[in-house]
Structure 1
Amino acid sequence: MRRPHVLPSRLLVSQQAAVGFSRRFLHLAPPFLLDEHSPRYMTLSAVDAAKKRSKAYAHLRNCNLCPRLCGVNRYETTGMCLIGANVKVNVIAPHFGEEPCIQGHNGSGSVFFSMCNLRCVFCQNHDIAHQRNGQDLTPEELGDWYLKLQDVGKVHNINLITPEHVVPQVALSILHARENGLTLPVVYNTSAYDSLASLELLDGLVDIYLPDFKLWSTASSRRLLKADDYAATARESIKAMHAQVRDLCFTPDGIAKKGLLVRHLVMPGLEAESAEIMKFLATDVSKDCFVHIMEQYHPDAYVGKPSNARPKPSAPAANSKDDKRYAEINRAVTKEETSAVRKAAEAAGLWRFCDPPRHDGSNL
């Protein structure tokens, strides 16, 4: 996801006026249209909300809501994510991202959390995702920001970006905001490196799951994401997300309100892995799964940086290309690679895609 061009930890109010939707060409079958939608958290009983609070506090005292399974008491110390009982937020602002069906004309009220539980070597937001920058907030303070985005930003939803390592705090923040007047759908924007326990805690709180499915093989996940179990975890997580919210659905104004939207960033030379991901989505999730095939990959973070490895005395001198880190992905993707992934998705039976807009409104 491209990072919004905003000042860190500041609430920015969109100056863009709302545009009427007097005429709309929705390329959607009737089963995916909603007359209206109330956020799922509004249907929780007081008893169920209390149970979720209790579970969230328990998980913070013995953190297992991420596949890293650090098991630490986050009131006293931190695990791999380096985040304690509060959250660290880098950006809070209305945001227009790559999915127009979610951002619409007013954007999402996006909250970009610092630190990620993956270490993607090509991360395009590595200065946020790999560093503890930003503002410390309690779950209640975080929930208050949702209300500010709703009341001042006039946004379509609350979009939580890279929250996998702060799920207990996110759950508490949504429950706090609910009690104080939040009425917007919640989008959980994730790498899909989520534990099933964290998704169980989020069940009933999240309306739209927006996971990435990055890579398919263990070898690629180990090398490029620093997580051997990424693909296996993502498969189980995405199936669990779909079981909760099903396929992506829209209200007549063309804005997505509930369901699953899977994003996949095409990587150089890895079309075969992409094809496996598309087969999985069609076979194990749903042929009606809404998919965004993204082509904006470019070398970033550690890709293309000078190698720190010292050559063996007997080895020939490395040329300039081979002396770069992660040289195999040190280039942009080609149109042919992106086209091959799209064809593989269609061959698998997928048909609902997030394509670039062909007009000023949402492309649906």
Structure 2
Amino acid sequence: MILNTEALKNCTICPRNCGVDRKKEKGFCKTGIKLKVASAFAHFGEEPVLTGIYGSGTIFFSGCNLGCVFCQNYEISHFCEGEEITVEELAEIMLTLQANRCHNINLVTPTHQIPLIVSAILKAKENGLSVPIVYNCGGYEKVETLKKLEGIVDIYMPDIKTFNRDFAAKYLKTPDYPEVVKSAVLEMFRQVGNLEISSDRTAKRGVLIRHLVMPGYTDDSIEILNWIRDTMGKDAYVNVMDQYFPSYRASEFPEIARRITEEEFLTVYHHAKKLGLRLAVE
């Protein structure tokens, strides 16, 4: 598979394998052949190792290859709000963020637009882009595509959402998510290893895993943490997140139409500490 606009003619860049010609129609991701960006700015709400002093140069891409019913950025991901831009314009955005002293370029939900994004990265690097590239994704990634990113992406930041197939089918519209995310994270780990933090306390290379604790699914969270420890070791860097709230269509599903309890979060968080994992917030 080639990683340029030709790959979008019969699109199979993500595990959905839509096979649509995105020059003529949109895939499940709701995007076509053009880059679509919702916002770009110095973000101070990410993990401290990303934001540092001057912020993470964050670019939110419109659309998504997942169908999460509880999406907290649904206006961007599901309604595809944003502006179409060129590869050259995206390269200039990256260079501007670097010029503003951002510690990295943080690509949020890049999966379905990655051929065009790679073109922009390479163009920006020709013009002096040197900060780390962060691949901030939902974890539903194709190993074949990830292999094309080796040497381009410095920091992979997947969100491991679930290992429960019923959860994945019902809430993500993605029943094969558990096996896909495992394969994807292992490929990311093969490429860049565990997270390396420089003397200025910012991340330079490696994998940073996010996991959002969901109401009623602490057993699932514990299974995920055990897998991380077993496959990536104690040096795996994990952000156990407590900020779930019932957004978008979550109110249609009574079992997840609530925030998590303190007990639920602490059960997962303390298990992560017991495993000896490196936690983003301690």
Common fold: TM-score over 0.5? yes
Kindly indicate whether residue 12 of structure 2 is the aligned counterpart of residue 64 of structure 1. yes
In structure 2, give the amino acid aligned to 1:58.
Answer: E
Tell me if structure 1 keeps the 8 A contact 2:5–2:33.
no
CA deviation digits over 1:143-187, x for unaligned, max 9? 111011112x21100000011111111111111111111111100
In structure 1, give the amino acid aligned to 2:18.
Answer: C
Picking from 164, 175, 179, the partner of 2:122 is: 175
Picking from 70, 78, 82, the partner of 1:122 is: 70
Q: Percent identity?
A: 41
Calculate the aligned-residue CA RMSD, in Å: 1.4
| Count, aligned residues | 282
CA deviation digits over 1:273-331, x for unaligned, max 9? 00110111111233211000001111111112xxxxxxxxxxxxxxxxxxxx1100111
**Which runs of 5 or more structure 1 residues have no equivalent in the other structure?**
1-51, 305-324, 357-364
How much does 1:85 deviate? 1.8
Q: Which residue of structure 1 lines up, in the alignment, with residue 272 of structure 2?
A: 345
CA deviation digits over 1:186-226, x for unaligned, max 9? 00000001111221121111110011001111000011111
Picking from 91, 109, 114, the partner of 1:143 is: 91
Tell me if structure 1 keeps the 8 A contact 2:212–2:244.
yes
Kindly indicate whether residue 36 of structure 2 is the aligned counterpart of residue 88 of structure 1. yes
Q: Which residue of structure 2 lines up, in the alignment, with residue 332 of structure 1?
A: 259
3-state SS of 2:229 partner: helix
Tell me if structure 2 keeps the 8 A contact 1:171–1:201.
no
Kindly indicate whether residue 199 of structure 2 is the aligned counterpart of residue 252 of structure 1. yes
**Which runs of 5 or more structure 2 residues have no equivalent in the other structure?**
none
Q: Which residue of structure 2 lines up, in the alignment, with residue 354 of structure 1?
A: 280
Tell me if structure 2 keeps the 8 A contact 1:56–1:201.
no
3-state SS of 2:186 partner: helix
3-state SS of 1:344 partner: helix
How much does 1:76 deviate? 2.9
Kindly indicate whether residue 54 of structure 2 is the aligned counterpart of residue 106 of structure 1. yes
Q: Distance in 2 between matches of 1:236 and 1:344?
A: 23
Q: Distance in 2 between matches of 1:226 and 1:236?
A: 19
3-state SS of 1:202 partner: coil
Q: Distance in 2 between matches of 1:327 and 1:296?
A: 18
3-state SS of 2:148 partner: helix
Q: Of the two, which has the highest radius of gyration?
A: 1
Q: Distance in 2 between matches of 1:260 and 1:297?
A: 22
Output the TM-score relative to the length of structure 2: 0.96
Tell me if structure 2 keeps the 8 A contact 1:290–1:352.
yes
Q: Which residue of structure 1 lines up, in the alignment, with residue 151 of structure 2?
A: 204
How much does 1:355 deviate? 0.8
Tell me if structure 1 keeps the 8 A contact 2:134–2:154.
yes
Q: Mark the CA change 1:195 to 1:72 in structure 2 (over 3 Å): closer, same or farther.
A: same
Output the TM-score relative to the length of structure 1: 0.75
Deviates more, 1:280-289 or 1:99-108: 280-289
Tell me if structure 1 keeps the 8 A contact 2:194–2:232.
no
In structure 2, give the amino acid aligned to 1:338.
Answer: F
Q: Give the 5 Å matches for 1:46-57.
A: 55-57=3-5
CA deviation digits over 1:86-105, x for unaligned, max 9? 11100111111230111111
Q: Give the 5 Å matches for 1:177-326.
A: 177-304=124-251, 325-326=252-253
Tell me if structure 2 keeps the 8 A contact 1:246–1:259.
yes
